[in-house]
């Protein structure tokens, strides 16, 4: 059986006590590109029809641009059928009920992520990504601000905009 510890991201704790449970750390372990499931259902307060329309318009604009780049008329019957098929597919996918198991898991992850955000805010902890790697770091927000200001004054590479 494969050792589970080899799958963990490295977490850098800079003089910071992280108030997270093991489950919350497992969510962080999923990495920067982790996307919680069913976001449009649980993370958006817009009606589904508006979400479908916005997504369709985005896809339509992108595809029209590509079609016109290759001098293909958007008024062609094939293009119209294509756009109608996209709209129908989006409506089908967004209106289809989510299976209970996936919905429960998505709601659980949503609550867990919101809880983590509250805990970090309450503990005044900043979260960042190190340069050129996938490592997270957690640091006291005031310490982080001091380090940034010290670096700016030491290197004169940056100017603070107020």
- Based on the domain organization, do 28 and 66 belong to the same domain? no
Task: Looking at the structure, tell me whether residues 29 and 70 fall in a common domain.
Answer: no
- Give domain status of residue 162, yes or no: no
Say whether pLDDT at 29 is over 90: no
Q: Per the domain annotation, does 51 fall within a domain?
A: yes
Query: Does residue 107 sit in the same domain as residue 144?
Result: yes
Residue 1 has pLDDT above 60, yes or no: no
The model's pTM is 0.60
Kindly state whether residue 142 falls inside one of the protein's structural domains.
Answer: yes
What domain range is 24 assigned to? 4-38+101-155
Q: Are 52 and 73 members of one domain?
A: yes
User: Do both 87 and 107 map to the same domain?
Assistant: no
Helix, strand, or coil (residue 149): helix
Residues 29 and 56 in one domain: no
Cα–Cα dist 89/52, whole Å? 10
Instruction: Indicate the pLDDT class of residue 6, thresholds 50, 70 and 90.
Output: very low
From the number of C-beta atoms within 10 Å of its C-beta (0-12, 13-18, 19+), residue 138 rates as buried
Report which of residues 28 and 49 the model is more confident about.
49
Shared-domain flag, residues 151 and 122: yes
Give the domain-ending residue among 80, 95, 110.
95
HSE of 85, CA atoms in CB hemisphere, 13 A: 6
Residues 25 and 60 in one domain: no
Residue partners of 103: CB distance under 8 A and separation at least 6 = 38, 41
Q: Place 129 in a pLDDT band, splitting at 50, 70 and 90.
A: confident
Number of structural domains the chain divides into = 2
Is residue 161 a part of any domain in this protein? no
pLDDT of residue 88: 95
Residue 160 within any structural domain of the chain: no
């Amino acid at each position: 059986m494969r050792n589970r510890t080899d799958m963990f991201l490295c977490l850098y704790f800079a003089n910071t006590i992280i108030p997270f449970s093991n489950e919350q750390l497992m969510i962080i372990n999923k990495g920067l590109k982790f996307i919680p499931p069913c976001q449009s259902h649980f993370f958006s307060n817009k009606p589904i029809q508006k979400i479908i329309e916005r997504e369709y318009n985005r896809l339509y604009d992108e595809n029209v641009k590509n079609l016109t780049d290759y001098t293909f008329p958007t008024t062609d019957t094939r293009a119209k059928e294509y756009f109608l098929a996209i709209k129908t597919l989006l409506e089908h996918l967004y209106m289809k009920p989510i299976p209970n198991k996936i919905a429960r898991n998505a709601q659980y992850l949503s609550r867990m992520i919101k809880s983590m955000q509250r805990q970090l805010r309450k503990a005044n902890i900043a979260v960042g990504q190190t340069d050129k790697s996938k490592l997270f770091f957690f640091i006291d927000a005031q310490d982080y601000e001091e380090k940034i200001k010290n670096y700016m004054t030491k290197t004169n590479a940056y100017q603070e905009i107020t």
